[in-house]
Structure 1
């Protein structure tokens, strides 16, 4: 990220300016708050209406008739293509009609009231409505909340339930965005906060969308700005812990990640990286220090910060440091003297230079003198953790959290070539333009794990789709401590891998050692698989993140976006779509007899492949499913094509040469993969897509087409290798690539060829490396005749039989000689690979023998409780 900045420091100032001008214009400069004249309808001297989209109309009453044309903190763009509409005056009444809304206003009656203003929704007859001022939404679907600090689930330490803010979506079919009290931006080069003129105003945006929630969110992005695309690395694994790490400790930590082959992209260093003025401060009621601010590296932990940051860069790790700016700049800070001179601050008293967030000179010096030098050393982005007073001390009502988020993000836009990213707390509407949210210090409990999926879903209703939670929880409810429950933490990791940002964190506690190598057996394996699943899905996730930028639809979103007329979509409030093709039903209950149960609603319209059990389930039903600790309720649309990475990816610093296409059973499909440079600001115009398509042929064969890549971006690779994984597939007869046969390889697939995985019941096909501009067609042909269904959970039965039989050898405390039939049945998955010509016979025999297990194990003379456990684990009673 900072290679460019380091090179710049060696170039003359004039050339730096020239280079900077070649980069994309900051997003705030691209917004245009002045609407087109043809979109505006005047209704007397003090009222005007602006038709922004067929579903959004701005309604202004201004007692001074000096209407606001500045960008507000929420609405930054009004210069939109003017939709088709009519404006008719009949007598005292003005009627404005779009394709979806009909607004009526009684002219020259001033301030909007229920008597002089109404808006009718035209498109949805059954649940249509007519809105008037003063009407209250009865079914708002909610938005989000500033922080989870101290919440156990949705309940705080005083027993009060969290009250989420209202969101933009409502089952009522409309939302009134009241922007009358919002601060405005001035029109300077770095837009700054300014207040509205004196006088009474109503500055409203009426959004009428029926149940077309996606259209409502897309409209909001048009007026409130897009959700910026985070850098690709943001979708990897973030290691974070509140701990006084030293340079040595962090190097050892990363070494262990490498030793255990665990991918890692972001190193989060909490506040102990710096010194504070807390030594002379009295502790609070909990014995904690009051002052958190610091800007100077603690030399006792980091003797040479620049060398440390060069090392993180050599490891392809992005580094973020925690900031608490509230105490300003203290005398002990190394930047104090220069900062004081630039602020004309009297240093004789040796007191803190107070924080002044609304003072442009203070903020400019904060970046120029304090922060940017550290960025040039290698700090990639900032963790902004404001926990002090709510409002600015100079401008009444200016919320510090909101304003700080803008300051930090817009400074990055103005002064970096790399993609801006900020990790921060929610400040309110409009903060979606500053991406990654820090949700705060949640209590470690099953209740918190249960609540977070709903909390994340609802946030998408205000476009705040990139919440980063403290995976595993932050602190124990009892301040005297607790224990780290491996099962709870493992389930949290599995959810975290399927959440917007995957970041583990905890308070400063010696027992909260969340490093994966501190766990054993199934817990280690399940956590490792969760991390690997996350990385395998990054191309799919990144494609969905681009869709968020283009449409406002978040990666993790509620079920009612796609199913607005189904009551289940609202009732299953924790369940969510993970992009377009994956559904997740998060687990938040402990295991019972080795399995956790969850109710799942599978929408109609397609079938769903339960990935971890290999079961194809019909859509349009609610059912209860059970999962072992190393399984999770992940459902993929039947026939979906997911772009993926393989297990060789260590980090997301680059687009790898090898792409995997996960192709799921259930029919024909089409999808595409998005790519860009990964960390530059030019992604709005410099990017590429590759389209994929599958088709079932009349003879039962499967055709897979990979289209030539379209588009261009910096450092784009010319060629790549595609690996196709056909999940839930029978053994093929042969595989053809561009009309030529591909060889079968029993084991090694490092080079082109294909083979079969009996354990996963999947086919892997590695294509020859080829130019990304070429078309590739793969034809997978299967043997004729009847065949046995293998997507009915047989993959799960393979797994259960292997696990239970292995454990059985230890269960009774005596030497067991297993029946030959049991051994052969348990080895079926391997036999499928060793004897592919017997595929159908082996599957049929396995099914017959699996159901005969009660008879097969009788000669073992097992204890009653052992036999009951064994058969129960196999799902055969007991």
Structure 2
């Protein structure tokens, strides 16, 4: 081998092994280790720093850091008197052999091109963006009205710190956290070396989304809930009987209202002295004579069921499972003493699940509502949070012993609890203040990856029931992670949809049905939360970190990547609720009125009772269902690929089995794209990629074009398609038919030249005017409408009969709308009626 080749080989090896070169870490990414110090690069923006005077480093997962193996990361390592580790986002320096970490021997700074910072131990964040709270029990907005473990009545509650800060970095001290042992069912264990340091540092600047993804690398992902969890949940604190529940479900069917989950509150078990109480484990046979048959009935109706649990009082001798518990715990066969709840006792918990819960799960209970409220800490393990620990126990038991996808419904226990969805926020007060607080509370929880809060829609306690407040709460609930109505045990707080008048009933039904139409989009975004750590509801500053308004407009949030929500959380005046909405740069489509709005500013919007603030990115293409879907258990529903006005958009459809545990690898994705070029709109539905169990080979597909005039033609893969006009939505629907999911579909829509603009809110305007004219007839039964006003009131019907004339009809409507005050005077309405008419359609505010 000649000298030249030897030199080349030497240079290559020098580069690979040089302490100053970029290197690929070998799992688990330990960059530097000596007798007392260990540094592990998790990602280019996250690093673990350990100091152990004994030299016994911790490899077991902790309650926070459940993952110990990480993808390879590029870094630079330089050894000398100072250990230097540099990634693309930060540079760490530690003085070698200088002992425990202090402000004198370790620091982390930014690298060129990232947001400047300098951190040493003891540095305090100045601008933490907040996280969440264990519970909203007895809260009225952000004010505590009844005492809980963390606060006294009258206190203003402040959110716990979250993982993100405007400082651009975050520090997490995991030194005193509990660990999991190596047993088959990983159990709590305490650290042996209490004097050690186990720290995590994250550098991210304004890239909040990447910070959350980095956190999942060492703290675990947000599990994907079953698909049914995103449907409608019926819940009420009420001592329903078997027969009353059957009547309730019959009414859901009768009135065509979708339903997926039935929540049975604590009266499923005996609550009277000597047979039960707040804690109970035995079915109340007076209300449920045959529980297995009741559960069978629910499943026959495609419903999932959860039961409310308050475990704190343990297991009493009168419970059906007591004898089995006594035997498994090897207690005296004659004892009738209560078996206390000790969550840290593995033998107790094993016996509890086997004798108390497993029999009911076999009967058909799908998941548990863990309504834990009592003593904060475990009786045997000091400082072990009962909330955190039993959330893990219930979720992991389901994970280990069920073929179904695990799900739990409970309170927040602290960092790491994002691995055990879904949250129950507790008994909030029935007030506008509570409603106004919850959108902010929802989105902020994404800062600790707790992305699935479920609130008592309509409020639970305190205050008084108001129909308008309930409707606004329901509308917000439909655009929340979980849609669950609930209320306290009070006869005057019944929220069954059919007890309201026709107008309110219709709004309730339509709100729930729109939730179901959006299910494919919602489920796709939930998968995104699993993959990337970005919750379904997240703050605007994730996408617009440099905009002050993204932080100031706290109630606004993104609902997935394409929809901005500005919920109505205040009472209306004169039939409309007016709110200020900040829309980021770009164009946004107001879904409920059909108005395309320019962003980059704050605008005033007003909402009738059946409208709420949903703003879709211009050009977005969203996967939706039709309004015929009543339940999310099925997996072969038709897709309506819906295109919103704008130049271009892209999205995807995520599919899986819906309720299996193998969704990490067993799933399929279909990419969607749209592009407008002049008078031509091109839409592509790519061939589906991936597979999962029981995957349908074909589906029905349709294309829906929002705020669209009648096209000249629509083609699918070059062949002509028929299409129809949806006059109420001013939209076009083209049914593609039942097609193979594994083949690409290319749709071309050709529009006539000079088409009318339908993005000025005509859908909302025409709806309001038709309603006002109907009301006007009651004020003046003998009124004969002049042509201009009459045509405005019947434009939807005119389009129904003459869809090809939509251009002409819309242009005439727009002209008359601009002249409406004069037209009303021409109608010979007096000034009072003119002002009334303009007010009820929100004319001066539109």
Scaled to the shorter chain, the TM-score interval is over 0.9
The 3 A distance-change label for structure 1 pair 81 and 858 is closer
Shift of 1:822: 1.6
Deviation at 1:201, TM superposition (A): 1.2
Residue 487 of structure 1: aligned partner: 468
Judge conservation of contact 1:306–1:378 (CA < 8 Å) in 2: yes
Once the 2 structures are TM-superposed, how far is the Cα of residue 442 of structure 1 from its aligned partner?
A: 0.4
Tell me if 1:441 matches 2:427: yes
CA distances 1:702-759 after superposition (whole Å, capped 9, x unpaired): 121111111111111111111111001111112222222223xxxxxxxxxx101222
For residues 177-216 of structure 1, what are the structure 2 equivalents within 5 Å?
177-216=172-211
Q: Which residue of 2 aligns with 1:683?
A: 663
Q: Residues 295 and 36 from structure 1, CA distance in 2 versus in 1: closer, same or farther, beyond 3 angstroms?
A: farther
In structure 2, how many angstroms separate the alpha carbons of the residues matched to 1:371 and 1:314? 22
Instruction: Quickly say closer, same or farther: Cα 1:506–1:107, change in 2 above 3 A.
Output: same
Question: What is the CA deviation profile of residues 320-364 of structure 1, one whole-angstrom value per residue up to 9, with x for unaligned ones?
Answer: 001111111111111111211111223545221111211111101
Matching of residues 635-674 of structure 1 within 5 Å: 635-674=615-654
Which stretch shifts more, 839-848 or 803-812? 839-848
**What residue is the counterpart of 1:451 in the other structure?**
437
The range that moved more, 462-471 or 340-349, is 340-349
Gaps of 5+ in 1: 1-34, 282-290, 744-753
Q: Does 1:155 align with 2:123?
A: no
**Cα displacement (A) at 1:816:** 1.8
* Number of positions where the alignment pairs a residue of Structure 1 with one of Structure 2: 814
CA distance in 1, matches of 2:27, 2:227: 40
Per the alignment, in what secondary structure is the counterpart of residue 468 of structure 2?
helix
Instruction: Tell me which of 74, 77, 82 is aligned to 1:87.
Output: 77
How far residue 854 of structure 1 moved from its aligned partner, in angstroms, is 2.7
Q: Given the superposition, is the C-alpha separation of residues 503 and 822 from structure 1 closer, same or farther in structure 2, using an over 3 Å criterion?
A: same
Identify which of 280, 289, 303 aligns with 2:289.
303
Give the Cα separation in 1 of the matches to 2:338 and 2:87: 57
Residue 553 (1) aligns with residue 558 (2): no
Tell me, which stretches of 5 or more residues in structure 2 are unaligned? 1-24, 146-152
Alignment of 1:826 onto 2:780: no
Q: Deviations over 1:457-515 (max 9, x none)?
A: 110000000000011111124xxxx3x20000000000000000000111111111011
What residue number does 1:119 align with?
A: 108
State which of 781, 791, 796 in structure 1 corresponds to 2:764: 796
CA contact (8 A) 1:401 1:426 kept: yes
Give the Cα–Cα distance (whole angstroms) in 2 for the partners of residues 659 and 510 of structure 1: 41
Alignment partner, residue 499 of structure 1: 480
Aligned partners of 2:606 and 2:842 also within 8 Å: no
1:345-391 superposed Cα distances (whole Å, 9 cap, x missing partner): 23545221111211111101111111111101100000011111111
Q: 1:867 to 1:209 in 2, by over 3 A?
A: same
Per mean C-alpha deviation after superposition, the further-off stretch among 844-853 and 272-281 is 272-281
CA contact (8 A) 1:574 1:585 kept: yes
Find the residue that maps to 1:683 and give its secondary structure.
coil
- Tell me whether 1:564 sits opposite 2:545 in the alignment: yes
Contact preservation (8 Å) 2:478, 2:512: yes
Say whether the 8 Å CA contact 1:121–1:210 is kept in structure 2.
Answer: no
Cα offset for 1:871? 2.1
Kept in 1: contact 2:702–2:737 (CA 8 A): no
| Residues 67-102 of structure 1 deviation map (CA, whole Å, 9 limit, x = unaligned) | 111100010112112311122123x31111111110
Which one of the candidate residues 108, 122, 139 is aligned to 2:127? 139
Structure-2 residue corresponding to 1:318: 304
* Matching residue of 1:598: 579
Runs of 4+ with >6 A deviation: none
Alpha-carbon offset, residue 450 of structure 1:
0.4
Q: How does 1:709-788 map to 2 (within 5 A)?
A: 709-743=688-722, 754-784=723-753, 786-788=754-756
Matches within 5 A, 1:357-436: 357-436=343-422
**CA distance, structure 2, for counterparts of residue 123 and residue 529 of structure 1:** 53
Whole-Å separation in 2 of the counterparts to 1:502 and 1:774: 35
Distance 1:338 1:229 in 2: 34
Pick closer, same or farther for the CA change 1:280–1:710 going to 2, 3 Å: closer
- Displacement after TM superposition at 1:527 (Å): 1.5
SS of 2:154's partner is coil
Change (3 A) 1:682 1:850: same
Aligned partner of 1:5 in structure 2 is: none
2: CA distance, partners of 1:41 / 1:712: 38
Q: Partner residue of 2:21?
A: none
1:213 and 1:84 mapped to 2: Cα distance?
A: 21
Q: 1:864 Cα shift?
A: 3.5
Task: Identify which range, 550-559 or 840-849, moves more after superposition.
Answer: 840-849
Residue aligning to 1:464: 450
Matched, 1:110 2:110: no
Contact 2:408 2:420 survives alignment (8 Å): yes
Counterpart pick for 1:840 among 794, 807, 832:
807
Q: Deviations over 1:543-570 (max 9, x none)?
A: 0011111010000000011111111111
1:820 Cα offset (Å): 3.1
Q: 1:702 aligns with which of 678, 681, 685?
A: 681
Structure 2 distance, partners of 1:619, 1:854, is 29
Preserved CA contact (<8 Å) 2:274 2:318:
no
1:573, distance to aligned residue in structure 2 (A): 1.4
Tell me the residue number matched to 1:20.
none
* Contact 2:619-2:646 within 8 A present in 1 as well: yes
Show CA shifts across 1:573-612 (max 9, x none). Answer: 11000001000001111111111011111111x3110000
Question: Is 1:52–2:21 an aligned residue pair?
Answer: no
Residue deviations 1:758-811 (CA, integer Å, cap 9, x gap): 221100111121111222222211112x23321011222211210111110112
Within 2, Cα distance between the matches of 1:626 and 1:839? 27
> In the TM superposition, what is the alpha-carbon distance from 1:528 to its structure 2 partner?
1.4
1:508 aligns with 2:475: no
SS at match of 1:267: strand
**Mean CA deviation greater in 188-197 or 823-832:** 823-832
State the distance in 1 between where 2:793 and 2:112 align.
Answer: 59
The superposition leaves residues 421-480 of structure 1 with CA deviations (integer Å, 9 ceiling, x where unpaired) of 000110011000001000000000000000001111110000000000011111124xxx
Q: Tell me the residue number matched to 2:323.
A: 337
Against the structure 1 CA distance between its residues 682 and 44, is the aligned structure 2 distance closer, same or farther, given a 3 Å change threshold? closer
- TM-superposed CA distance for 1:850, in Å, is 2.1
How far apart, CA to CA, are the structure 1 residues paired with 2:31 and 2:681? Answer: 57
**CA RMSD between the two structures:** 1.6
C-alpha contact (below 8 Å) 2:620/2:643 kept by paired residues: yes
